[in-house]
Amino acid sequence: MGTVATTAKLDTDQSSVTERVLSILRHEMVTGQLEPEQVINESETALRLGVSKTTVREALHGLLWEGFVIAFPRRGYVVRALGMNDIRDVMDLRMSIEPPIAGIAARRCSVELVKKLSQILARQDDKSAAYNEKLQATTDFHRAIASAAGNKRAERLLSTYFDETTRIYYLFSRAASYVGSPNDIRAHQEILEAISAQDAPRAQQAMIDHLQESNDALLRMLH
């Protein structure tokens, strides 16, 4: 019995370390620290993060499943590049999932959710905030709504799309001007007001309008 318990604990510990390494590498890819088409050297990464090569390989396998890396025979893992088709795919997927999720969040609205969204919006609208802080607030706003809807599968899907969107803003500096712009703030304020009023149709439409506007702005900036 003791052996089983010890083995289970070791497995849990290893899983935790792998998740931590996966999270670090994902963050580095999202923020552009690991650049598109960069080869990930497992030995160097293991040494840098103080873990085993096996742990790095397991983390990279998870990132392969998430779509952040590509595996090549005898070359290893390479950070996946982002093209216009990838950007459009992310936009289309967010448009299909987020509006109804915003409607559900409105129906389930609580005082805590309104307070949380208001605080996030204040961070995004802070004129003294750095770009990365505004971008983090933008993502946090959408994550909070996804979490409030209570659909864990949709939340997991959207989490990947939010990371992809953040990566777009980090990799394409021309797109930076939309983050925290008056239009962006105004759209988030409208979504917040609709959710606060528990008006699901209004919240859904506000999210549609916001995503359409931000998508159009992003595509204009990237052309």
> Mind listing the pLDDT tens digit for each residue in 188-203?
999 999 999 999 999 9
Mean pLDDT for 53-74 is: 93
Domain boundary among the residues 39, 56, 79 is at: 79
Q: Give the C-alpha distances (Å, rounded to integers) separating 212 from 25, 37, 99, 205.
A: 30, 30, 11, 10
Q: Are residues 176 and 202 in the same domain?
A: yes
Q: Which residues pair with 70 in a beta bridge?
A: 78
Residues 154 and 192 in one domain: yes
176 and 152, same structural domain? yes
Mark which of 79, 108, 127 sits at the end of a domain.
Answer: 79
Q: With 80 as the cut, is the pLDDT of residue 49 above it?
A: yes
CATH number at residue 40: 1.10.10.10
Q: Is the pLDDT of residue 136 over 70?
A: yes
How far apart, in whole angstroms, are the C-alpha atoms of residue 117 and residue 124? 11
Query: 68 and 91: one domain?
Result: no
What does pLDDT average to over the chain?
91
Q: Does the pLDDT at position 173 exceed 90?
A: no
Report the Cα 96 to chain-centroid distance in Å.
16
Task: State yes or no: pLDDT of 95 exceeds 90.
Answer: yes
Q: Does the pLDDT value for residue 128 go beyond 80?
A: yes
Q: Which residue has the higher pLDDT, 101 or 9?
A: 101
Domain that holds residue 181: 84-222
- Looking at the predicted structure, is the pLDDT value of residue 113 above 80? yes
Q: What is the mean pLDDT of residues 56-73?
A: 94
pLDDT at 1: 40
Q: How confident is the model at residue 4 (pLDDT cuts 50, 70, 90)?
A: very low
- CA-CA-CA-CA dihedral for 190, 191, 195, 196, to nearest 10: -40
CATH classification of the domain holding 113: 1.20.120.530
- Same domain assignment for residues 209 and 111: yes
Given this model, what pLDDT does residue 12 score? 42
Instruction: Please count the structural domains in the chain.
Output: 2
Confidence band, pLDDT 50/70/90 cuts, at residue 154: very high
Do both 53 and 163 map to the same domain? no
Q: Are residues 211 and 103 in the same domain?
A: yes
Q: Lowest-pLDDT range, 115-119, 129-133, 146-150?
A: 129-133
Residues 6+ apart with CB under 8 A from 152: none
94 plus 163 within the same structural domain: yes
